[in-house]
C-alpha cells in the first residue's frame, strides 16, 4: 500500500510520514464535519474494498438503544462524548480490515486523537461551511445544528475544530466539488485499489 507516495504525487495534502508501514492493514478512518459525507463514503468504501464498516454514531445508537438526538436531549453532550471515547477504546482492540466513519466532533477530544490514529490511515473530508449548510438544510438529526443561525454555528464550530482535524489527519481531501463516488474513487486509488473487490 502506497498511501504516502500517492498523496505526494497527486498533490493532495499529506500531513505526515505516519501512514507508511502502519500495522493497520490499510484501515481507513474517515473524519470531518457533519455533512462532509463520512457515512455515505464509509458505505461505498466498505462495499468496494470488502472491509467491515464501523460507523461510530450508529454503534452508539445501537448500544444506547436511542438516537443521537435522544442521547443529547436526555443525557447531554458530555455523556455522548464519553460514549464516543469508550467506543474508540473498544474499536482499537479489534483486528481485521475495517473502514471507520466517526462523528464530526470525535477528533475534538484530545484523548480521542491518538485512538483515531491507531485505528488506521485518517482521511479528513474537508468541506466549506456553505456546503454543509446546503447539504444539511432541514436535517433534524444533528442536535448541534438545531436552532437559530445554523450557518453561523457551522462556521464557528468548523473554525474551532479545524486544528483538531488537521492534527489527526494523515490525508486531507477537499470534497466540496466531489460526489461521494468520486471521493471514494480517490481514496481507493490512494489505497492502491482500483476496482470493486480488488
Ligand atoms: C456531531 C456529529 C454527528 C454526531 C453528533 C455530534 C458533532 O455525527 O456524532 O450529532 O459534534 O459534529 P456526523 O458527523 O456523522 O453527523
Q: What is the pLDDT of residue 192?
A: 65
pTM over 0.85, yes/no: yes
| 107 CB-near residues (< 8 Å, 6+ apart) | 31, 113, 116, 161, 164, 165, 167, 168
d(Cα 188, Cα 169) in Å, to the nearest integer?
17
Which residue reads 457551522 in cell numbers?
A: 154
CB atoms within 10 A of CB 146: 13
Looking at every residue in the chain, the average pLDDT score rounds to 87
Provide residues with CB under 6 Å of ligand 1: 34, 38-39, 57, 68, 103-105, 142-144
Q: Whose CA is nearest to atom 4 of ligand 1?
A: 103
Instruction: Return the top range by mean pLDDT from 95-99, 155-159, 177-181.
Output: 155-159
CA-nearest residue, atom 3 of ligand 1:
103
119: burial class by Cβ within 10 Å (0-12, 13-18, 19+)? buried
CB 68 within 8 A of CB 61: yes
User: Residue 189 has what pLDDT?
Assistant: 83
In 34-63, which positions are buried (b, 16+ CB within 10 angstroms) versus exposed (e)?
bbbbbbbbbbbbbebbebebbbbbebbbee
Give residue 196's pLDDT: 54
pLDDT tens-digit map of 102-155: 999 999 999 999 999 999 999 999 999 999 999 999 999 999 999 999 999 999
CB 56 within 8 A of CB 100: yes
Ligand 1 closest atom vs CA 35: 16
Q: What would the pLDDT profile of 46-98 be if each residue is shown by its tens digit?
A: 999 999 999 999 999 999 999 999 999 999 999 999 999 999 999 999 888 99
Output 115 or 7, whichever has higher pLDDT. 115
pLDDT of residue 71: 98
Ligand 1 pocket mutation, candidates 142, 145, 147, 159, criterion most atoms within 8 A of CB: 142
Structure confidence by residue, pLDDT tens digits, 76-89: 999 999 999 999 99
Q: How far is C-alpha 7 from the chain's CA centre? A: 18
Q: Which three cell numbers stand for residue 104?
A: 464530526
Alpha-carbon span 72 to 49, nearest angstrom:
34
Is the separation of the CB atoms in 49 and 77 below 8 Å? no
Q: How far is the CA of 106 from the centre of ligand 1 (A)?
A: 8
Amino acid at each position: 500500500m502506497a498511501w504516502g507516495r500517492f498523496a505526494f504525487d497527486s498533490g493532495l495534502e499529506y500531513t505526515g510520514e505516519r501512514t507508511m508501514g502502519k500495522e493497520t492493514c490499510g484501515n481507513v478512518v474517515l473524519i470531518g464535519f457533519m455533512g462532509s459525507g463520512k457515512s455515505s463514503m464509509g458505505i461505498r468504501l466498505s462495499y468496494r474494498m470488502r472491509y467491515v464498516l464501523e460507523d461510530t454514531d450508529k454503534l452508539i445508537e445501537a448500544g444506547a438503544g436511542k438516537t443521537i438526538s435522544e442521547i443529547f436531549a436526555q443525557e447531554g453532550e458530555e455523556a455522548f462524548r464519553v460514549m464516543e471515547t469508550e467506543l474508540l477504546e473498544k474499536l482499537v482492540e479489534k483486528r481485521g480490515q475495517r473502514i471507520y466513519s466517526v462523528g464530526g466532533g470525535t477528533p475534538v477530544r484530545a484523548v480521542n486523537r491518538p485512538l483515531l490514529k491507531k485505528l488506521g490511515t485518517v482521511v479528513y473530508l474537508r468541506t466549506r461551511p456553505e456546503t454543509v449548510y446546503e447539504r444539511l438544510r432541514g436535517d433534524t438529526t444533528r442536535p448541534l445544528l438545531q436552532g437559530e443561525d445554523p450557518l453561523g454555528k457551522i462556521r464557528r464550530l468548523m473554525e474551532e475544530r479545524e486544528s483538531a482535524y488537521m492534527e489527526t489527519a494523515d490525508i486531507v481531501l477537499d470534497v466540496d466539488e466531489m460526489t461521494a463516488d468520486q471521493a471514494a474513487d480517490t481514496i481507493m486509488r490512494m489505497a492502491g485499489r482500483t476496482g470493486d473487490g480488488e
